[in-house]
Amino acid sequence: MQTALRRVGSYMIRRCEAKDLPTVVDINMLTLPEHYSDYFFESILRELPESFIVAELYDKVVGYIMCKIEFGFSNFRKLGFVKKGHVVSVAVLNEHRNQGLGKALMLEGINGVIARKTDEIYLEVRVSNESAVRMYERLGFQIKSRLRAYYRDGEDAYLMALEFG
């Protein structure tokens, strides 16, 4: 039996398991223009299972977040390398949006990254995705830069980051 990290109404937020990956890949294909190989999803699950989280309703996965750990320049400090989390992908099926699932997935993904003793977490988001940008800002993320023509279709992205205490 799976352990709920949190509940949002009738939805259960829990860690992803290998059996969930086909559905996660389907959600990615249905909801986002950026797609990854099956192997990529498997490797993220192996590397950082505590930050690969799914939202489930009546035994059906309807959303996910996957994060990874990187070492690189800080998005907040001028000098030095830091250990940081990267929100690689987060998605919720259209018919399950506006239920608080995105926020719940983000919070649990962040918790998993914090558990790995990171200094910050960052993500890229389409400039046109205003509702996502607002949600990330409510979670404490700041827009750090605009990445010109970041996506294959030429759209810009915001690089948004959150520094941990």
Measured over all CA atoms, what is the biggest interatomic distance in the chain, rounded to whole angstroms? Answer: 48
Grouping H, G, I as helix, E, B as strand and the rest as coil, residue 128 is coil
User: How would you label 36-47 residue by residue, b for 16+ Cβ within 10 Å and e otherwise?
Assistant: beeeebeebbee
* Domain annotation covers residue 146: yes
* Domain annotation covers residue 139: yes
CATH of the domain at 59: 3.40.630.30
* Domain annotation covers residue 101: yes
Cα dihedral 145→148→153→155 (10° resolution): 50
**Tokens 């830091």 sit on residue:** 82
Distance (Å, whole) CA 135 – CA 100 = 10
pLDDT at 18: 97
pLDDT at 2: 78
Distance (Å, whole) CA 112 – CA 162 = 14
pLDDT at 122: 99
pLDDT at 78: 84
The pTM for the full model equals 0.95
pLDDT tens-digit readout, 12-25: 999 999 999 999 99
* Domain annotation covers residue 1: no
Distance (Å, whole) CA 141 – CA 145 = 12
* Domain annotation covers residue 66: yes
* Domain annotation covers residue 145: yes
pLDDT of 93 > 90? The answer is yes
**Average pLDDT of 20-31?**
97
pLDDT tens-digit readout, 55-67: 999 999 999 999 9
pLDDT of 1 > 70? The answer is no
Please give the tally of structural domains in the chain. Answer: 1
**What is the extent of the structural domain holding 118?**
6-163
